[in-house]
Structure 1
Amino acid sequence: MKFTLSWLRAHLETEAPLADILAALNTIGLEVEGVEDRGAALASFRIAHVVEAVQHPNADRLRALKVDAGDGKLLSVVCGAPNARAGMKGVLALPGAFIPGTGITLKRGEIRGVASEAMMLSAREMGLGDDHSGIVDLPEDAPLGESYVRWAGMDDPIIEISVTPNRGDALSVHGVARDLAAAGLGRLKPLQPAQVAAAYPAPLRWEIADPRACRWVLGRGIRGLRNGPSPQWLQDWLVAIGQRPINALVDVTNLFTYGLGRPLHVFDVAKVRGGTLTLRMAREGEELAALNGKTYALTAEDGVIADEAGPESLGGIIGGSHTGCDEGTRECFIECAVFDPVRIALSGRRHDIRTDARARFERGVDQALPPVALDLATALMIELCGGEASEVAAAGAEPDWRRSAMLRFERLAGLGGAEVAPDEAVGILERLGFMVEARDAGSVTVAVPSWRNDIAAKGALDQAPGLPAERARAAAEGCAQVEPEADLVEEVLRIQGLDRILPVSLPVAGIVPPPALSAKQARAVLARRVLAARGMLDCVSFGFMEAKVAALFGEAPAALRLENPIAADLDQMRPTPVASLLQAAARNAARGYPDAALAELGAAYRSASPEGQLQVAAGIRTGHTPRHWAEASRPVDAMDAKGDALAVLAALGVPMAAVSVTTDAPGFYHPGRSGVLRQGPKTVLATFGEIHPRARAALDLVGPAVGFEVFLDAIPEPKRRKRGAPDLPAFQPVRRDFAFLVDEGVPAEAVLRAARGADKALVTEVVLFDRYAGDKLPEGKVSLAIQAVLQPRAATLTDAEIEAAAAKVVAAVGKATGAVLRG
């Protein structure tokens, strides 16, 4: 939002200097983005009179001037401008002045033997344009010796502020002046309603055919006018804020848009087809040739103002070129309407139209201002262009914007963090336009002014008639959550000065800060790090895939089908991240990289309920193991996947002694080369195995592929125990190796579990270190070699005690599995 200092003072009676105004704007929440003082660089330039102008004695293209700068002393100036002549007035720069257009600092000198004590300036040399055809030629009545900046009205700084989306009232100079007056920087000049006599019936009538297009509209004609350039003061204000003056009628609408935050539009009555302007929704195939030179294809969700020929304006956003006012306009019709903010925002976004009118309507305009604004605009247009006004044409009704809000004084400190006296708080609200309805010792109830659309009472949000029922319900539900008291607290604190709120540190929850990650988050991070340390690349893939591919890796229920997928082959939520990783591996293999080790921490979807979304640490390996100097590369197998899964479980604190293996892995694994890692009979911690050949073929994945899933949600959180002294036995452990001959169908896990349970107080660890099948063994038998660690705690073990413990191990394994020691 831009405005000049003089424009602000047209609405605010104040003697405050610019610096104080800028400081106040920042403290009341209207942050100053920048200030442009166009006259600062020209402050030293003066209006001078050329007393004499003669030909330079030594140069054909130069003239020697005698110039009076207002002090009666004549200065010698050498000038090359062809329009330099005696009697004219121009702009003079004295020695020591900086010339913006040339970037030099002026010095006294001598040109071709004639002294030059000053410089007469062109527009380009002053940085005011590109004209360098001659020096600036001022009117005869320009005051001699006066500052050129002051005389030209350029000592008017341009202020730019940042306005938050909720403050539609601050998108007007009058609204900014109101805030500054409430902060004590002057007195707000009230709007003086104009008295406009009606000389004839309205030339056009309004019809609201669809209440979605408009809530309330007023209009008035002016006939017998002479449209032309607007006065200099109006052009100066508009140019200063980056607007291009067009003509008096259009410039007045821009003046009201920025000055009062009240967008207006003018129609040329002679160009309107028929005698009625209809506010309706656009029809199929209709277009609008807009004032910006573009043509827009309208939709049924766009509200328009139309005549018999079709749309002549996209209501509240931009007018049409067909009925625009120009210098030939002799009768205009002023439109002043209230539109639905949400519909304005959606239409503007749909067509990518950014206008000053849209910016104000979509934030909400003053819903009680249209009659006053229409009278003021009519009076100003008649003053500038002549003519006489018609009666007012109207349609619709003024929206029911009246509402109340309550402020409890203790909330100023409790919610806002600042102590404010009740009388001061009430005074601030009154200066902002809130009217006191009731007050007691602890609170005040105020009527919210019509221009503060951002402060809504509970259940009192105004809705345009004809809005969709679902939107009305949503608005009502949202309104029920609105707390207008917080808005009033904000108003009081910002006008008092946001800089007066003392900074307060947040209370310390404890001496030791809580962990930044929850236990579940920490497990996920640790699982990702473990897999990366094992040489697997971390992946992030889509959580959905093609339904027929998903069916290869589990159920693909219709409840997990996407109604609006981003692609035809991404229409089903995936049952496991393993499927996504295998697709990635297949793409890599097709490009010459068959050996992949990929991992992902993501979701597996089993049902539409929250319980059906599982957090999984998954990984796959394809092709061959990485080449290493110490061992040859080999095809990956199920044990590689099992090792990955066990590494994750061990890092997450799962006791490995409690983990068992079963062979009931999901169907996308090879039935004879896969397994399930369990803790107890019911808790499934992970699955692993070789990928089924059917799934590999469907994915065009050639060569071996293995995978695993670790279900992080199923891993129990470790019990929190107080840290004590480490368990460091004083006696040396004893390790004994056993080689058992067992049936080839006996799982190694059964042997290990039996050995661990042989003497729980003495046997602390049992590991499998060899499996042998082949020559010198009976048919159907294999050899499993294990190592058991015996850890004494009371005394060093004797040979007899060691032999007794070994006998327990042999007996326990034999009883559980039928195994016997190899001879």
Structure 2
Amino acid sequence: MKFSEQWLREWVSPELSTQALADQITMAGLEVDAVEAVAAKFEGVLVAEVVAKEPHPDADKLNVCQVNDGSGNPVQVVCGAPNVAVGQKVPFAQVGAILPGDFKIKKAKLRGVESRGMICSASELGLEEETSPGILELPLEAPIGEDLRAWMTLDDSTIEVDLTPNRGDCLSLKGLAREVGVLNRLTLNAPDLAPQAPSHEDEFPVRLSAPEQCPRYVGRVIRNIDVTAPTPLWMVERLRRSGLRSIDAVVDITNYVMLELGQPLHAFDLANLQEAIEVRSAKKGERLVLLDGQDIALREGTLVIADRDKVLAIAGVMGGEYSGVGLETRDVFLESAFFTPLAIAGQARSYGLHTDASHRFERGVDFELPRQAAERATALLVEIAGGEPGPLSETVSSDHLPGKHQVRLRASRIEQCLNIRLPDIEIVDILERLGMQVGSDVGEKTSEDDAWFVKIPSWRFDITIEEDLIEELARIHGYNRLPVRRPAARLGLAADDECRQPLARLRRQLVARGYQEAISYSFVAPELQALLVPDMSAPRLTNPISSDMAVMRASLFPGLVKALIYNLNRQQSRIRLFETGLVFQGELESVEQIPMLSGLVCGSRDPEGWAARRDAVDFFDLKGDVESLLRLGGNDEVWRFEPAEHPALHPGQTARLLHEGEAVGWLGALHPALRAELGIKLEVFLFEVQLNTLIQGRLPVFRAMSRYPEVRRDLALVISDDIPVQALLDTLRECAGEWLTDLHLFDVYRGAGITQGNKSVALGLTWQHPSRTLNDAEINQLIDTIVTETSQRFGAELRG
């Protein structure tokens, strides 16, 4: 929210400097982002009138002008602006004037003709950032000879406030002035909002077919307006200093009232309306050409303003081109409505739009404001464009309007939260200055429970519980005036689970294996999530940041895949990413938040180099990375990989990760059909595992090292292709005895000498006795037991 300091001071003017005012607003919880001058520094520029104009004798695009600057003698100026004309009031920089950029005006000759001064454009005066095509035309009532800076009140500042979403009441000059007035105990100088006497009895019917989304709609027919009437300079400047450009008198007035009071308005060309206004939900197949020229297909359920034949506007977002005010408009229908925040939340972004109106309605607009705003806009239209207003019509569904509610406030709770005992008189004073009702007509403070009952004003959507009122007391009393005390408590150290390994250790392990950590949003695109984890449900946001961040993530896969696509599109072909974070599974009422660790790899196995292998990463590379994480806990024997199917993973290259028989994760190759749909050409491998399970390890214990030699035997067993190696390893551990210290797979062979459908699995076994040397007879007996058992269970044969 940007606003002019001078405009604010017309409402309320505390005896504070600009910076002190900004600091006070910030300390009240409305953070000031920037304070900037409304115009660059310049001096020596006057209001002048062009009294004569002739073509330059030696230049086609230049004119020789005579200007009256109030000195009594016309001043000759050579001007190249295409829009300069006799009778104009213009900004005139005299000889000796200094323009922005320390540019000093001097006498000069342009193509042999003397020029004593300069007629200025808006950009040359620092009033616009873009280069202006012509000179700045001033209103005809501008006083000749007056200092331009003083006459336009350019010694002003724009203050930009970054409001939190709950403070929609401050998205207006009225709301900000109300805050400043409360902080400084000053009353507001509000503009006249008196009802406008109707000049005729014409009304346009209104029907509320969606009263739960639009319970109040105020309208007025205003006839015989002059759309071509110029917007007064004071209004143009206030709009400019608030970040809005002037368009025409009608649009400027609706924008001005929105900035002033906080109520968005819209004006329809009455000649283009048929039969009646209806506020309803869009129907299937309906389309609308917006004021910015976009032709959009409306989704069913979108709240719209329509007449008998067509949709006129997306309610609370933007009007349509067909019914907009144009140069031919003579009669308008002025709309001032209350739309509930949930009706507008997310609608603009779902169509790729963001407007000042939707920004306000999403955060909540005072439901009692539409009538006041319509009266204010009517008065300005009559004053500026000469309209003839009809009676103000109001269509209301009282059952659906928000009600004014009471909140119980206890003095004991105030002291408990703020650590200070505020006087009762100060509490009541602060609340009443904020527009709340505290008194006999609402409920006196009672001695039994030491409490007040506070009636909340219609513009404060954010105050619903006792703590909200206490926050208001703290803001206005002053956060910096609250006492600072350390808690008096005996704080014992919490017991530390020594079996849990720190997350930093897992991170370092993945970084050491070439991964980079990614941090993605907890909100993802519903379409991408549906592709990667279609079987999981997650909460959908009512008011998302954007349409591609509309649901909570049910897995870390969507964020990593999005980051992968981003990198691939920037010529990065070797990618290794991992992420830790919460995923959200289930519906909002019963959502489960689960910490997860996920990773993704694609591209070459090794970084590019003269000695590096050029082959691509595969499933077993990823499995090796995951196994290295499992080994960190010292209990990797409780983990198992089993073949499984996942909707987003390759059916032949997918494994479910089990911990003590319970499924806790997945790893595998991204499904080829899914890669094609996402436009990914490289093979991609992903894993995901529950973090709380992964960080659980085994407490290390001391074991003395044996002084006796190890015995190593290698076995090559031929087994069927469909037998998992893990089952074979489990059998070997059972049969190898208590002195087995190491068992690992070091080769798998298929080819010549091996029957088709079988594989040769080479295993290394190591034994070591803690107190003596093992002999060959003992080892041979163990080998015989292993060969016999594997033959009986799996039909394994010892490869000769």
TM-score range, shorter chain: 0.5 to 0.7
The equivalent of 1:126 in structure 2 is 125
- The whole-number CA distance in structure 2 between the counterparts of 1:537 and 1:416 is 50
Per-residue CA deviation, residues 466-518 of structure 1 (Å, 9 max, x unaligned), is xxxxxxxxxxxxxxxxxx221112112222333334555677976x9769x75
1:288 to 1:591, Cα distance in 2 relative to 1, 3 A: same
The equivalent of 1:336 in structure 2 is 336
* 2:12 is the alignment partner of 1:12: yes
Letter in 2 for 1:494: R
Per-residue CA deviation, residues 135-185 of structure 1 (Å, 9 max, x unaligned), is 888789765664320113323322211111100101011000000000016
The equivalent of 2:776 in structure 1 is 772
* 2:426 is the alignment partner of 1:445: no
Letter in 1 for 2:37: D
Shift of 1:231: 2.6
The equivalent of 2:148 in structure 1 is 148
Give the SS at the match of 1:669.
Answer: helix
The equivalent of 2:477 in structure 1 is 496
The equivalent of 2:279 in structure 1 is 279
Q: Is the 8 A contact 2:220 2:390 kept in 1?
A: yes
1:109 to 1:287, Cα distance in 2 relative to 1, 3 A: closer
Shift of 1:276: 1.7
Shift of 1:215: 2.3
Which of 669, 682, 693 is equivalent to 2:727? 669
* 2:383 is the alignment partner of 1:404: no
- The whole-number CA distance in structure 1 between the counterparts of 2:331 and 2:485 is 62
The equivalent of 1:390 in structure 2 is 391
1:451 to 1:286, Cα distance in 2 relative to 1, 3 A: same
1:253 to 1:110, Cα distance in 2 relative to 1, 3 A: closer
Q: Is the 8 A contact 1:673 1:690 kept in 2?
A: no
The equivalent of 1:653 in structure 2 is 700
Q: Is the 8 A contact 2:3 2:158 kept in 1?
A: yes
Per-residue CA deviation, residues 398-437 of structure 1 (Å, 9 max, x unaligned), is 6142101133334444323555433222212111101103
The equivalent of 1:362 in structure 2 is 362
Per-residue CA deviation, residues 282-320 of structure 1 (Å, 9 max, x unaligned), is 111111111121122111221111112221111111111
Per-residue CA deviation, residues 197-238 of structure 1 (Å, 9 max, x unaligned), is 345555421222234542222222122333333333222222
- The whole-number CA distance in structure 2 between the counterparts of 1:211 and 1:584 is 54
1:42 to 1:518, Cα distance in 2 relative to 1, 3 A: farther
The equivalent of 1:723 in structure 2 is none
Shift of 1:111: 8.0
- The whole-number CA distance in structure 2 between the counterparts of 1:31 and 1:320 is 35
Give the SS at the match of 2:501.
Answer: helix
Q: Is the 8 A contact 1:50 1:87 kept in 2?
A: yes
Structure number, greater radius of gyration: 1
- The whole-number CA distance in structure 2 between the counterparts of 1:521 and 1:617 is 22
1:490 to 1:561, Cα distance in 2 relative to 1, 3 A: closer
Give the SS at the match of 1:444.
Answer: strand
Shift of 1:62: 12
- The whole-number CA distance in structure 2 between the counterparts of 1:694 and 1:519 is 42
1:305 to 1:400, Cα distance in 2 relative to 1, 3 A: same
Letter in 2 for 1:521: R
Per-residue CA deviation, residues 686-737 of structure 1 (Å, 9 max, x unaligned), is 997549989999xx99985889xxxxxxxxxxxxxxxxxxxxxxxxxxxxxx
Shift of 1:583: 11
Give the SS at the match of 1:522.
Answer: coil
Q: Is the 8 A contact 2:749 2:761 kept in 1?
A: no
Letter in 2 for 1:449: P
Letter in 2 for 1:452: R
Q: Is the 8 A contact 1:34 1:160 kept in 2?
A: yes
- The whole-number CA distance in structure 1 between the counterparts of 2:218 and 2:89 is 52
Q: Is the 8 A contact 1:21 1:185 kept in 2?
A: no
The equivalent of 2:498 in structure 1 is 519
Q: Is the 8 A contact 1:178 1:188 kept in 2?
A: yes
- The whole-number CA distance in structure 2 between the counterparts of 1:314 and 1:55 is 51
Which of 616, 627, 630 is equivalent to 1:591? 616
Per-residue CA deviation, residues 352-383 of structure 1 (Å, 9 max, x unaligned), is 21011111111111012222222332333233
Letter in 2 for 1:387: E
Q: Is the 8 A contact 1:209 1:279 kept in 2?
A: yes
The equivalent of 2:247 in structure 1 is 246
- The whole-number CA distance in structure 2 between the counterparts of 1:601 and 1:346 is 41
Per-residue CA deviation, residues 741-797 of structure 1 (Å, 9 max, x unaligned), is xxx9xx968xx5xxxxxxxxxxxxx256655359xx9x85999xxxxxxxxxxxxxx
Give the SS at the match of 2:301.
Answer: coil
Question: TM-score, normalized by length of structure 1?
Answer: 0.61
Shift of 1:45: 3.9
Q: Is the 8 A contact 1:267 1:332 kept in 2?
A: yes
- The whole-number CA distance in structure 1 between the counterparts of 2:126 and 2:27 is 34
The equivalent of 1:757 in structure 2 is none
Per-residue CA deviation, residues 109-135 of structure 1 (Å, 9 max, x unaligned), is 8989x9x99854533543446889998
Question: TM-score, normalized by length of structure 2?
Answer: 0.62
- The whole-number CA distance in structure 2 between the counterparts of 1:195 and 1:309 is 33
- The whole-number CA distance in structure 1 between the counterparts of 2:731 and 2:253 is 84
Q: Is the 8 A contact 1:677 1:687 kept in 2?
A: no
The equivalent of 2:320 in structure 1 is 320
Q: Is the 8 A contact 1:201 1:391 kept in 2?
A: no
- The whole-number CA distance in structure 1 between the counterparts of 2:413 and 2:11 is 33
1:294 to 1:88, Cα distance in 2 relative to 1, 3 A: closer
Letter in 2 for 1:351: Y
- The whole-number CA distance in structure 1 between the counterparts of 2:255 and 2:353 is 17
Moved more, 262-271 or 232-241: 232-241
The equivalent of 1:262 in structure 2 is 263
1:48 to 1:382, Cα distance in 2 relative to 1, 3 A: closer
- The whole-number CA distance in structure 2 between the counterparts of 1:168 and 1:677 is 73
1:232-631, aligned counterparts within 5 Å? 232-273=233-274, 275-384=275-384, 385-397=386-398, 399-417=401-419, 420-436=422-438, 437=442, 438-440=444-446, 442-456=450-464, 484-501=465-482, 518-522=497-501, 562-563=535-536, 591=616, 597-598=624-625, 599-601=627-629
The equivalent of 1:466 in structure 2 is none
Letter in 2 for 1:336: S
Q: Is the 8 A contact 1:428 1:492 kept in 2?
A: yes
Identity %: 28
Q: Is the 8 A contact 1:3 1:241 kept in 2?
A: yes
Moved more, 401-410 or 173-182: 401-410
Give the SS at the match of 2:267.
Answer: strand
Q: Is the 8 A contact 2:12 2:177 kept in 1?
A: yes
Give the SS at the match of 2:312.
Answer: strand
Give the SS at the match of 1:390.
Answer: coil
Shift of 1:261: 0.9
Q: Is the 8 A contact 2:283 2:301 kept in 1?
A: no
Q: Is the 8 A contact 1:202 1:393 kept in 2?
A: no
1:666 to 1:350, Cα distance in 2 relative to 1, 3 A: same
- The whole-number CA distance in structure 2 between the counterparts of 1:689 and 1:201 is 94
Moved more, 427-436 or 487-496: 487-496
- The whole-number CA distance in structure 2 between the counterparts of 1:523 and 1:389 is 73
- The whole-number CA distance in structure 1 between the counterparts of 2:192 and 2:490 is 57
